[in-house]
Structure 1
């Protein structure tokens, strides 16, 4: 009897699969990379702290407000803050909303599923009735267009979902910086392990949402629904922002006849792991807002490296974006390792095979990413 041996398939990123199997990161370990990643994550943590507070404020206090002129003020409106806002001497909260809308559009996870259930519809209607109890005009609008106000609350649910996710991540990144300053973090694998441990520790944190109207609390996403940090916000966020993203205006044609944008959202590859840093600073490039925010909070040791670069501070936002991409590959590594079907050190051949297949699927998605660029 003749047996045919199945030919092994070659993955272009086989080197990185082997790295992950050894517990290493997608980003090579070096003192410069450690400094760059920790420094940019410290800045990112400060910005995420502000983003998180504002998203949660909007969800809890600006829900069903049709013209929220002061939603970026977190309830602290003053003439001085208004001038700073108009002068754009502020955090660009628009980027947080951009990420929130991307998550909502791409969907995924239990939050997306719950917002289409009858339970959510009933809870949303109770909030709408209480909010506009004495407003016959809005009540009539709600009767004519029953999905209009409900959709507003769906958006509010994503505000709080992303806000709660970023709350955890901000603390995680700032704690990483503190550990680095104390000399506890000295390698990229340690950075990855810190992030993975944080994700695992907070994996089952409940995602809830309640609003107060005239002194009464209305639960929109009760704890009983069972939404959690990792499965229902973290993984959908990674999918929507790291991988899929949205095509930037001016970089691809939105003309349907040009076929430059895939018709299927699952084939989108415009996320943080794929985007070219060079257009940062140009019109229509949303991450410019994030890079602009992070430049205000760069630790001095990282800022000094940028100053000594070839162009100095002339391309500071681009340099920040490159560092940010490196850090996001560390976060991606932590996510990949944290979701492994079996322990890395398993001795079971079948489990090892499952792990290999799992890693190959991830690497297939990263073939057109910036992985090779950050490893140069």
Structure 2
């Protein structure tokens, strides 16, 4: 670890550390970066609004539905919607489930501790028995494989938690865009401050989850579980989706003997901050679905910016991915500053030293991300 030096840092990403200590962000400030970040977050906010509504619909209304053929319709099935769905003229909700599964697989410490507790097992069992009361086949399945349906209930909790997280983030990004249009957001640090303030304001929002079955209310995550927005949804989301995630099928070998994937789950670095934007647009790449959704909702100024590039429309998804990664470094900056041991502008030498060590630990993790390319 590099020792603290007020004048500089010998870390390979030392200039990023100094910029953050001076009130900056992981992403350099600049008019193009600002326009890209705000524009892509405007589109992302629109898409997230659809994502969170569907995740909560699945959690609330598709609980233990064994064949949820119409789970992406939010309870409104019609022939025109079916035709649009088959023609892919729709929001690609599969990507939101991909993010949910990343969180489920990597886990969230306090949420997992509750889901492993006897209290959750008892609540889940009551809801399961109510749901399968008139389904003898499901009852037999539950007796033979007693862990199967509780695991399904556990997954439903992750659907709900991610939906609740995005329900806060969506308006946060849309309000950011409105403030930019009014001239209130003039720099990348302004973007970071807006997001940081939003995260702090929502930090203690409780995470709860319940389902209604035949007129009865069954709480699966009650308020007394003590789960809250920032530490039990936002931080695990950043860890699972920004940093770790998992390799995309068809782009990385799954040959464990060849050592092409780490044996240690904690070492996975396939998240949004690390992904190569060039494969975006190819089939089988989950972020392609997100970029396609965002492409449909770009603000006019950002679309024109992309069309003015060398390839224009042909690689717009790749361009959106690059802008999106820039925006996620701004979100990561907000999270880093919010979790720092001391305020980043502290004057105390000991506190400055602790902050420097904290930032260097982050830079160690980000060395092989896309951050060096943006700096």
Q: Shorter-normalised TM-score: what interval?
A: over 0.9
Aligned match of 2:65: 65
Contact 2:4 2:353 in 1 (8 A): no
Residues 163-210 of structure 1, C-alpha deviation per residue, up to 9 Å, x if partnerless? 000010101000101111111111110000000000000000000000
- SS of the residue 1:210 aligns to: strand
Name which of structure 1's ranges 300-309 and 349-358 shifts more when overlaid on structure 2: 349-358
1:355 aligns with 2:362: no
Cα distance in 2 for residues equivalent to 1:264 and 1:10: 29
Q: Per the alignment, in what secondary structure is the counterpart of residue 312 of structure 2?
A: coil
Task: Give the CA deviation at 1:283.
Answer: 2.5
Q: Does structure 1 conserve the Cα–Cα contact (< 8 Å) formed by 2:206 and 2:228?
A: yes
CA deviations on 1:255-287 (whole Å, 9 max, x unpaired) are: 122110000011111110011100111122110
- Asked if 1:286 is matched to 2:268, the reply is no
Asked if the contact 1:280–1:288 (Cα under 8 Å) also holds between the matched residues in 2, the reply is yes
Asked if structure 1 preserves the Cα contact closer than 8 Å seen for 2:196 and 2:334, the reply is yes
Q: Which residue does the alignment assign to 1:247?
A: 247
Tell whether 2:128 aligns with 1:118. Answer: no
Counterparts of 1:78 and 1:19, CA distance in 2: 53
Residues 225-236 of structure 1 correspond to what in structure 2 (within 5 A)? 225-236=225-236
Contact 1:109 1:231 in 2 (8 A): no
Does the CA-based 8 Å contact 2:244-2:271 persist in structure 1? Answer: yes
Structure 2 Cα separation of the partners of residues 135 and 95 of structure 1: 31
Question: Offset at 1:10?
Answer: 3.0
Aligned to 1:3: none
For the residues of structure 1 that align with 2:4 and 2:70, how far apart are their CA atoms? 62
Can you list the C-alpha shifts for 1:75-100, whole angstroms capped at 9, x where unaligned? 00001001111111100000000000
Report the Cα distance in structure 1 between the residues aligned to 2:261 and 2:58, rounded to whole angstroms.
32
Match of 1:295 in 2: 295
Aligned residue runs from structure 1 range 191-270, under 5 A: 191-270=191-270
Q: Distance in 2 between matches of 1:278 and 1:370?
A: 12
Contact kept? 1:104, 1:112, Cα under 8 Å: no
The match for 2:344 is: 344
Distance (Å, rounded) in 1 between the aligned partners of 2:353 and 2:220: 43
Q: Measure the CA separation in 1 of the matches of 2:205 and 2:111.
A: 14
- SS of the residue 1:212 aligns to: strand
Q: 2-side partners of 1:335 and 1:151: how far apart?
A: 30
SS at match of 2:112: helix
Q: Determine the structure 2 residue equivalent to 1:88.
A: 88
After the TM superposition, which residues 148-163 of structure 1 pair with which residues of structure 2 at under 5 Å, given as runs? Answer: 148-163=148-163
Residue aligning to 1:185: 185
Q: Larger deviation: 82-91 or 252-261?
A: 252-261
TM-score normalised by structure 2 residue count:
0.97
Separation in structure 1 between the aligned mates of residue 211 and residue 102 of structure 2, nearest angstrom: 24
| SS in structure 2 at match of 1:315 | helix
Against the structure 1 CA distance between its residues 7 and 357, is the aligned structure 2 distance closer, same or farther, given a 3 Å change threshold? Answer: closer
CA positional deviation for 1:291: 0.2
TM-score (norm 1): 0.96
- More deviation, 108-117/216-225: 108-117
Any idea what the Cα deviations from partners look like across 1:308-349, whole Å, max 9, x if unmatched?
000011101000000001100100111101111111222222
The yes-or-no answer on 1:130 pairing with 2:130 is yes
Q: Name whichever of 358-367 and 247-256 sits farther off.
A: 247-256
Q: RMSD of the alignment, in Å? A: 1.2
Equivalent position of 1:308 in the other structure: 308
Per-residue deviation, 1:17: 0.8
- 1:148 and 1:169 map into 2 onto residues whose CA distance is 32
Q: What is aligned with 2:274?
A: 274
By how many angstroms is 1:248 displaced?
Answer: 1.4
C-alpha deviation, 1:250, in angstroms = 2.2
